[in-house]
Chains A and B, each alone.
Chain A
Amino acid sequence: MAAGVAAWLPFARAAAIGWMPVANLPMPIAPTNKNKHQDELIILNVSGRRFQTWRNTLDRYPDTLLGSSEKEFFFNEETREYFFDRDPDVFRSILNFYRTGKLHYPRYECISAYDEELAFFGIIPEIISDCCYEEYKDRKRENAERLMDDLEDNKDSKLPNMTFRETMWRAFENPHTSTMALVFYYVTGFFIAISVITNVVETVPCGYMPNQRDIPCGERYTEAFFCMDTACVMIFTVEYLMRLFAAPSRYRFMRSVMSIIDVVAILPYYIGLVMTNNEDVSGAFVTLRVFRVFRIFKFSRHSQGLRILGYTLKSCASELGFLLFSLTMAIIIFATVMFYAEKGSSSSKFTSIPASFWYTIVTMTTLGYGDMVPKTIAGKIFGSICSLSGVLVIALPVPVIVSNFSRIYHQNQRADKRRAQKVQKARLSRMRISKSGSSSAFLHSKRNGLNQSLELTGSLEEDQQLKKTTSLLESQHHHLLHCLEKTTNHEFVDERLYEQGYMQTALQNFPSQSPSLSSEEGITGTCCSRRTKKSMQPLSATHTHSHTHNLQELSALHIQCGERQALNTSRSSLNLMSDESGSLNCKSSGLVTTAIITIPTPPSNNSRASPDAPPPPNPDAPPLPNPGNDVVKISAL
C-alpha cells in the first residue's frame, strides 16, 4: 500500500459502512488504537541539523529504520529528540521520501555515500523513482566498473596459480600484463604493417628494364618479396596456433571473427604454395592474392576504435538496410523514367533499364561522371529532378549513423547494455514483489492466524496478544479486507492455491449432496453464531469437494461440541495443529484442522460420508470426549 494513501485509510474504512447492510455475516472486530497519542511532531537531529515531521509520516514505511521501533535506539532522553550521526544533506532526500513517497537521487552526491545512507536507513535503492533512476544506475555501473578495473589491476599482479595455458591466454588478451605480452603485441603489429606495405609496394612499377616496359617491383625482386611474404605468414601462423592452443574454449575461438580473419589472411599463401606451377589455375591464384588485404583487419585487435566502428555498423544494420531499400526503389523508378525518356533519341547510351541504373546512381550521389548524359528535353528534366532528390536521399542516412555511433561510443560496450537489461528486470521484479507485498501481507497474516475471526460476540483477549507484530496501519487494512470477505462470504486466496483449487474443481464435478445446509449457512449461522470459515486449503486432490461436505458435517459437530470459541480455521493453524495433533482439546478450530489434515481419502469416501451425516444436531448434547476422532472417522469413511 503506498504511503500517501495511508492517510486515506480512515476514509476507506468509513466507506466500508456501505457494505454493512448487504452483508449476511457479522463483521470482525476492528483493531483498536491502543496507544492513541495524538499526532505529534518528532524532532530528528541529524548531525546538528534539526528536521521535524509528524510521527505519522514516518510510520508510513514500517519496514525502514525511521518507521519502526528501531529508531528508539537513537532517542536522546535529555533533549527529547532522535539523534543520528549521519550526513544531513542526504537525509534531506530520505525524509522527503517519507513525505512524498518518492525517493530522489541528487546528482551531486557521491554514489557510494548515498548507497551507504540508504542502507543505514533501511531503504532499498530499487524504489528510487523513475526520474532519477537512470542516473543512479549509470553512476552505479560506472562505479562498479571502476572498482572492477582496480580489482583487475590488482588481480593481474597476483595469481601465481594459473596454468601456463591460462597465462598465455591472458597475455594475448591483455598486452599490459607482462613484458613478453607487450613485446609479442608490438612484434605482431609490426609484421602486419610490413605485410600490408609489402602487398602495396609489390604493385608499384619500379625501374626500367632496358628493352621492356616498366614492371612492378613484385616481378623485379621476386625472391625478396617472396621471402618477406613467407616470413610474415610464418609469424602469423605461429601466432594463430599459439592462440588456438591457449584459448579456453577452442571451438568458440575458432568461430570468433578475429580468428576467421586470421585464417583468411594466411590461407592464400598456403594455397599458392600448393599450386604454383599449374598454369590453368594461375588465374585463380591471382584472385587469391586479393585476400591478402584482409591482413589489415588484423589491426582491429590492436585498435579499440576500429572495433567500435565495426560494432556500430553492425548495430546500424537495420537502419542501413532500410536506407538501402529506399535507395533501390528510387533508383529503379528514376532509371525506368530515364530509359523511356531517352528511348527516342538516337545513339543513346541508355540502352536498357539496368544500363540506366549506373546513370541514376552517379547522378543521385552527385558524382556526375558524364559518361552517360541525357539528350532529350524530357530526359534532362527528369535528370535534374533525379539529382535534386538524390541530395536529400543521400543526406538521410548520415545523421542516423552518426547518432548511432555516438550513442554506442557513450554506452561503450554491448555487455553493459545486457547487464543493464538484466538489472532492469530484477529491479522491476523487486518492485512488483514489494507492491504485491501488500496483498500477500494480508494472506500472510491470515496464515499466521493473526486475523482471528473475531465476530462481534467473540472474545477480545486472544486478539490483543497477537497484534504486536503488525503495525496499526497494517492491522486496520487487514481488518478492512476481512470485512470485505465477510460481506461477500468469499475468501482471498493467493494465485497458486487458486489455480490448484480451480483445476481440481474442474476435475471433480461433484454435486453438493446437502444443498440445504449450504444455502442456509448464512441464516443458521446467524442464529447460532457459529462461523465456519470456508478457508480450507485444498491440501490434496481429494479434498476439494470434500470440503463443502466436511464443512457441513463439521459445522454440525461444532454445534454438538457445544463450544463457544471463536473459530480459527486459517491455514497457519492448519499447519500448527498438524504438529500437535496429539493434544486436542475441544477447540472447534482444532477439530476442523486435524480432520482435514489427517485424511488422505479418495473422493469415493465422500459418497459414503454424506449419508452418514448426522441429522440437525441437538445443541444441548454434551461435548464428546474426543470429537476430533469422530470427525476424522466420518470423513475417513
Chain B
Amino acid sequence: MPPASMLIILELFCSSCKDSVEDELELSAARHRPEALEQLEAQTRFSRKELQILYRGFKNECPSGVVNEDTFKEIYSQFFPQGDASTYAHFLFDAFDTDHNGSVSFEDFVMGLSILLRGTVQEKLNWAFNLYDINKDGYITKEEMLDIIKSIYDMMGKCTYPTLKEETPRQHVEIFFQKMDKNRDGVVTIDEFIDCCQNDENIMKSMQLFENVI
C-alpha cells in the first residue's frame, strides 16, 4: 500500500542514520602502551631478547596492545580445533587478568608467563591454585573443580575415544578430591594443595615440562 511503503522507506532511512553514530563510538577503541623494556626486565625473569620476541608476537595479534576476552578466546580456540576451548579460555583469562579490569595488557601477559615458565614450583602451584579457585576466596570447592574439569573436557570435543560420558568429569573431580582433600572437609585449601602436589612425583615432573618453551 502506498502510504505503508512510504513509512517503510522512512524507517530504513532513520535506522541507517542511527548505525553511523554507533559506529563512530566503536572507532575509539582502547590503545595501550606497555611499560619500558627495562622495567619489565626487572619485574620478570625474561631476558631482553625474550621480551622483545614476546612483545612482537603479542602486538602482531593484538595491535591495540590489550587483549579482551573475546580475542583471547578466539586465539586460544585456534589451538584446539576439535573442541570448545572458550570456557577454559575464560578461566585462563581471569587468571591472567590480575587486576580484573576486563583486559589483559602486555604486562599482565608477561608476568603470567614469567611465573609459568621461569617461576619456582611453589609459584607455579600458587598460580594453578589461583586458576582453579574461580571466585578467589582461597578455597577450591567441588563445584569450582567440576567447572574447571568440565571445561578441560570440553576442549577435547565430541570425537574422542573412549566416548565422553556424563559422569566422567565428576569422577575425575572425585579422584582429585580424594587425593588433595586431606582433612575431608569438602574444600581444598592452598596448603593442602601445595603439600599434596609436592608429594606427587608425577605432578612435580610435569611442572618442569615447559621450562624451555621460550
- On A, residues with C-beta under 8 Å from B are 1-2, 4-5, 7-27, 29-30, 32-33, 38-39, 54, 326, 329-330, 333, 389, 392-393, 396, 435-436, 438-439, 456, 477, 480-481, 483-485, 487-488, 490-495, 497-498, 501-502, 505, 522, 526, 534-536, 548
Contact = CB atoms under 8 A, between A and B. Distances in A.
Nearest to A495: B159
A5 B127 contact: no
B40 interface: no
A21 B205 CA distance: 11
B157 A487 contact: no
Interface centre among A11, A393, A480 (most CB of B within 10 A): A11
Given A26-B202, A439-B81, A491 B209 contact: no
Nearest to B88: A18
Given A329-B1, A522-B175, A20 B206 contact: yes
Interface centre among B117, B153, B209 (most CB of A within 10 A): B209
B79 A5 contact: yes
A480 B79 contact: yes
B160 A493 contact: yes
B35 to A, nearest CB: 19
B37 interface: no
B1 A326 contact: yes
A14 B202 contact: no
A484 B163 contact: no
Q: Which 10 residue pairs are nearest across A and B when measured between Cβ atoms?
A: A7-B57, A498-B159, A389-B2, A14-B116, A439-B81, A490-B160, A20-B206, A27-B206, A493-B161, A491-B161
Given A33-B212, A38-B49, A490-B160, A22 B172 contact: yes
B161 A19 contact: no
A19 B152 contact: yes
Interface in B132-149: 132, 148-149
B161 A534 contact: yes
B190 interface: no
Nearest to A498: B159
B151 to A, nearest CB: 10
Nearest to B109: A11
A333 B54 CA distance: 72
Interface string B49-60: 100011011101
A480 B95 CA distance: 20
A54 B158 CA distance: 38
A396 B5 contact: yes
B68 to A, nearest CB: 15
A456 B206 contact: yes
Nearest to A519: B171
A439 B80 CA distance: 8
B78 A5 contact: yes
Contacts of B131: 18
B116 A490 contact: no
Given A14-B210, A21-B125, A488 B156 contact: yes
Given A15-B76, A15-B92, A18-B132, 6 more contacts: A9-B79, A16-B209, A26-B206, A389-B2, A393-B5, A492-B82
Interface centre among A20, A33, A333 (most CB of B within 10 A): A20
Contacts of B161: 490-493, 497-498, 501, 534-536
Contacts of B212: 30, 32-33
Contacts of A484: 80, 152, 155-156
Nearest to A490: B160
Dominant SS among interface residues on chain A? helix
Given A490-B160, A492-B159, A4 B60 contact: yes
A39 B156 contact: no
Contacts of B1: 326, 329-330, 333
B5 A392 contact: yes
B205 A18 contact: no
Nearest to A535: B161
Contacts of B193: 21
Nearest to B196: A21
Nearest to A386: B2
Contacts of A485: 156
B106 to A, nearest CB: 12
Given A12-B76, A484-B152, A7 B159 contact: no
B78 to A, nearest CB: 5
Contacts of B152: 19, 22, 484, 487-488
Nearest to B194: A21
Contacts of A54: 56
21 contacts: A5-B75, A10-B54, A12-B79, A14-B213, A15-B92, A18-B127, A18-B132, A20-B128, A23-B202, A26-B206, A30-B212, A32-B212, A329-B1, A330-B2, A393-B2, A456-B202, A481-B80, A492-B156, A494-B159, A535-B161, A536-B161
A492 B109 CA distance: 30
A584 to B, nearest CB: 25
A10 B81 CA distance: 17
A502 B175 contact: no
A287 B67 CA distance: 79
Given A15-B116, A27-B206, A436-B81, A8 B61 contact: yes
B52 to A, nearest CB: 9
Contacts of B6: 392
B58 A7 contact: yes
Interface string B149-188: 1001101111111111000100010011000000000000
Interface in B85-125: 91-92, 95, 109, 112-113, 116-117, 124-125
